[in-house]
Structure 1
Amino acid sequence: MDRNVFDILMERGFIEQTSHEDELRELLGKEPVTFYCGYDPTADSLTAGHFLTLMAISHMQKAGHRPIILIGGGTTMVGDPTGKTDMRKMLTLDDINNNAECFKEQMKRFIDFEDDKAIMDNNADWLMNLEYLPFLREIGAHFSVNRMLSAECYKSRMEKGLTFLEFNYMIMQSYDFLELNRKYECKLQVGGNDQWSNMLGGIDLIRKKEGESSYVMTFTLLTTPDGKKMGKTEDGALWLDPKKTTPYDFYQYWRNVDDKVVEKCLALLTFLPMDEVRRLGALEGSEINKAKEVLAFEVTKIVHGEEEAKKSQDAAKALFTGGDKAASIPSTELDSSMFDEGMGILALLTEVGLTSSNGEARRLVKQGGVYVNEDRVTDFRLEVSLNDFEDGKLMIRKGKKVYHQVIIK
């Protein structure tokens, strides 16, 4: 095997915590290891947070290890309480199955499933058919309630009330590890650092039931300099589905990250060699913008393909150079007759989907957050006419980063 993937992940900043670090590093260096990562399909698209774990999995697969992607069709019926102050919304079985199919399709961009190089399984296949009393006797007997309640994922819910339904989640996740250990000789579970408590339960269960050693490794969470989770936009999550977050908006998100996290993002979210990551991360002043452009291009290329990355890059440059390559900026075509007598800016903002109502649009204008062709709108009674269009196009900016092009036909 080539260089130990443990060292690669450590150098790039992925690894947050591991169980039995020396043993795990030795194992990953001497033989191909089957490992798994679980994804609960609570939405119909993966997010930037999932993307980080998929990059780590990709590094491990390239080093010769075999990933199991476990779709949580069963655990989603329960809902993971981790990081939540309230119980998750209950999804129907049809919703869960539809979301799982969307996940599978997106993951093929990052993981090679050909020739059994990776496995995709669904824990609904075993969890949905469990019989309650036999499961309690065989599995539940090995879990200490006192120990479970001391876990961070449960402590945060104790004040508002933790349902018995959610209390089962740790046991279900531990049982998944046991099942995959028996089925595929899976020895390692990986995931986000917020899963640490749940993951340790699986090691204990495998030791008690099979008498074997197993391991867990958690990856860092993507955070801003002040510790908040990255991957949130004005409209919510940063999605990997181009219908939910356009490739251009995706590109712009990474182009505008804080200077202090550029090197970290380059290490975690691209395949650039670490020498280049460190060189780009060391740029200062306005030069750091070059590093941000590389970051935005590389991440968009991995998620959406090189063609979309180039289009997004050209569109971003066109905004500042007045070029003609702004085709990837989100746009709306409207009939020219709508502007014959002028169209109110509030109605226009709502028409193109930048605001959900005229009331929201009025507030945005009053706050100074609306620009037409880079001129700040100061009057919410402004009328937009055909004279405001240049070559049939008008550019609206919402806040600092959200651009939308109006094209007349």
Structure 2
Amino acid sequence: MDRVDHDLIADLEARGLIHDSTDREHLRTQVAEGSVGIYYGCDPTADSLHVGNLIGLVMLRRFQDAGHKAVALAGGATGMIGDPSGKSEERNLLDDDSLNHNVARIKEQLGRVVDLTDPERGVLVDNRDWTQPITILEFLRDVGKHVTVNQMLARESVKVRIKSEHGISFTEFSYMLLQANDYLHLFDTEGCVIQIGGSDQWGNILGGVDLIRRKRQAVAHGFSWPLLTASDGSKLGKTSGARVWLDPAKTSAYAFRQYWMQMADDDVRQQLLTFSLRSVAEIEQVVTDHAEAPHQRLAQRVLADDMVTLVHGTGAAAAANEAADVLFASDPTGASAEAFEMLSGEIPFTQMHARELDDTINVLVATDLANSNGDARRTMDQNAYSVNGAKLTAKDQLSDQKPLHDRYLLLRRGKKRHHLVEIIS
């Protein structure tokens, strides 16, 4: 494999992406000496990954770009159990059909960030493949005997759950043993010598490192990154209480872009360092340029463009940028049909026959841009309406306006209330 000649661990340190690690200098040496296998796992508890998973995928991509082998693990087996880390109560268990569906959907999303076309560069594995054939007696003998209950009770995720009102079931208590066995299997079969995860996974990561040491008398590594939080302490990856998904059917490319665009100035530098594949020097220059005119939101634009391109592709990124420009620019007439098609799923949208446009006042009320006929007339007299970027006056009729792409009228009241009308035959 081709390698990028730089200190990858130093780059991650400069980005603030190593929270805990095993022997740092040995890890640095091993990564620098040649290609190694590194794995990141996520349980397929839904049919889409979310922004919280994205840091792990980007981390795999960084290592892959530096010539290492990226192993993405979909936890079909551990997904049946549920990781107690960060959870106050036990999760619902998934059946095989649900897990199969989720894994298939997740593979598609993974493949946009990590190259899975060449098995020498990257692979997706499902831990059901090696976990399901193991009998309980084999598991207790080959894994359980190498881990003490004292070690398991010392893990922070377990201590928190034991003290909670729900407690912790033996099923979830065994989760860390299953994850440790995953690392051992991937050490043996894929050459993985590094496991990564968020800081809440550190105890589970150490379990695998220790199991490999005990069973193979070998050194394996792990490191974690800080949990993602905003400057106010809130958890990143959610907007208005809802998760930001990587599946465009759940979070559209436009909404995904807007999530990054709304990043606070205090947070945007760290988010660029965490998620963007640009060099640290490039990012620092972006932040410097941003500081000269913060109102232009240059850093947010760079972050949003990088992330939509990475997750959804260049076409979706261009359409999402264009759709945003349609809403926030004064003249939408140059926008593509793709941009308006994207907007139809993001702002109030109505399909109308051409004959309905003869009554402009009725259209304004029907599209909720006016509360009543009188409200529509008063607002029109105040020149507060526009259609396709041009002022709509009392003398104008919507039926006289030229539709964009022969079918779209973008109505606007004031600066922020929009309604897209598609003219149908």
State the TM-score, normalized to the length of structure 1: 0.83
Percent identity, aligned pairs only?
35
Q: CA deviation at 1:83?
A: 0.8
Within a 5 Å distance, the mapping from 1:211-290 to structure 2 comes to 211-234=217-240, 236-282=242-288, 283-284=290-291, 286-287=294-295, 289-290=297-298
CA contact (8 A) 1:250 1:300 kept: yes
The verdict on how the C-alpha distance between 1:176 and 1:161 changes in structure 2, with shifts beyond 3 A counting, is: same
The verdict on how the C-alpha distance between 1:315 and 1:211 changes in structure 2, with shifts beyond 3 A counting, is: same
CA contact (8 A) 2:410 2:418 kept: no
Within the alignment, does 1:126 sit opposite 2:130 as a pair? yes
What is the distance in 2 between the residues matched to 1:395 and 1:192?
A: 44
Q: CA deviation at 1:173?
A: 0.2
One-letter code aligned to 1:10: E
Within the alignment, does 1:393 sit opposite 2:397 as a pair? no
1:82-115 deviation per Cα after TM superposition (whole angstroms, max 9, x unaligned):
1111111221111111110111111111112233
Within the alignment, does 1:334 sit opposite 2:351 as a pair? yes
Paired position in structure 2 for 1:210: 216
**Which of residues 50, 53, 58 in structure 1 aligns to 2:56?**
53
Within the alignment, does 1:147 sit opposite 2:151 as a pair? yes
Q: CA deviation at 1:293?
A: 1.3
CA contact (8 A) 1:247 1:309 kept: yes
What is the distance in 2 between the residues matched to 1:27 and 1:36?
A: 15
What is the distance in 2 between the residues matched to 1:134 and 1:374?
A: 74
Q: CA deviation at 1:273?
A: 2.5
CA contact (8 A) 2:350 2:367 kept: no
CA-based RMSD of the aligned residues comes to: 2.9
CA contact (8 A) 1:248 1:330 kept: no
Within the alignment, does 1:307 sit opposite 2:315 as a pair? yes
Q: CA deviation at 1:317?
A: 1.9
CA contact (8 A) 1:252 1:401 kept: no
One-letter code aligned to 2:104: E
Paired position in structure 1 for 2:302: 294
Q: CA deviation at 1:408?
A: 5.0
One-letter code aligned to 1:134: E
CA contact (8 A) 2:40 2:195 kept: yes
Within the alignment, does 1:93 sit opposite 2:96 as a pair? yes
Paired position in structure 1 for 2:186: 180
Q: CA deviation at 1:22?
A: 0.9
Paired position in structure 2 for 1:104: 107
Q: CA deviation at 1:276?
A: 2.3
CA contact (8 A) 1:395 1:406 kept: no
One-letter code aligned to 2:255: D
CA contact (8 A) 1:396 1:406 kept: no
What is the distance in 2 between the residues matched to 1:329 and 1:304?
A: 16
1:236-281 deviation per Cα after TM superposition (whole angstroms, max 9, x unaligned):
1111111111111111111111111111111222222222211222
Within the alignment, does 1:164 sit opposite 2:167 as a pair? no
One-letter code aligned to 1:4: D
What is the distance in 2 between the residues matched to 1:102 and 1:17?
A: 31
One-letter code aligned to 1:28: V
Q: Which moved more, 1:20-29 or 1:128-137?
A: 128-137
1:144-180 deviation per Cα after TM superposition (whole angstroms, max 9, x unaligned):
2222122111122121211111111000000111111
The verdict on how the C-alpha distance between 1:3 and 1:314 changes in structure 2, with shifts beyond 3 A counting, is: same
The verdict on how the C-alpha distance between 1:405 and 1:52 changes in structure 2, with shifts beyond 3 A counting, is: farther
For the residue of structure 2 that corresponds to 1:187, the secondary structure is strand
CA contact (8 A) 1:14 1:56 kept: no
CA contact (8 A) 1:36 1:70 kept: yes
What is the distance in 2 between the residues matched to 1:396 and 1:101?
A: 44
The verdict on how the C-alpha distance between 1:167 and 1:276 changes in structure 2, with shifts beyond 3 A counting, is: same
CA contact (8 A) 1:193 1:220 kept: yes
1:172-205 deviation per Cα after TM superposition (whole angstroms, max 9, x unaligned):
0001111111222321111222110111001111
1:121-156 deviation per Cα after TM superposition (whole angstroms, max 9, x unaligned):
111012112211221122112222222122111122
For the residue of structure 1 that corresponds to 2:188, the secondary structure is helix
What is the distance in 1 between the residues matched to 2:417 and 2:256?
A: 11
Q: CA deviation at 1:387?
A: 7.9
Within a 5 Å distance, the mapping from 1:64-83 to structure 2 comes to 64-83=67-86
Paired position in structure 2 for 1:363: none
CA contact (8 A) 1:113 1:119 kept: yes
What is the distance in 1 between the residues matched to 2:397 and 2:94?
A: 50
One-letter code aligned to 2:277: F
What is the distance in 2 between the residues matched to 1:236 and 1:338?
A: 37
Paired position in structure 1 for 2:14: 11
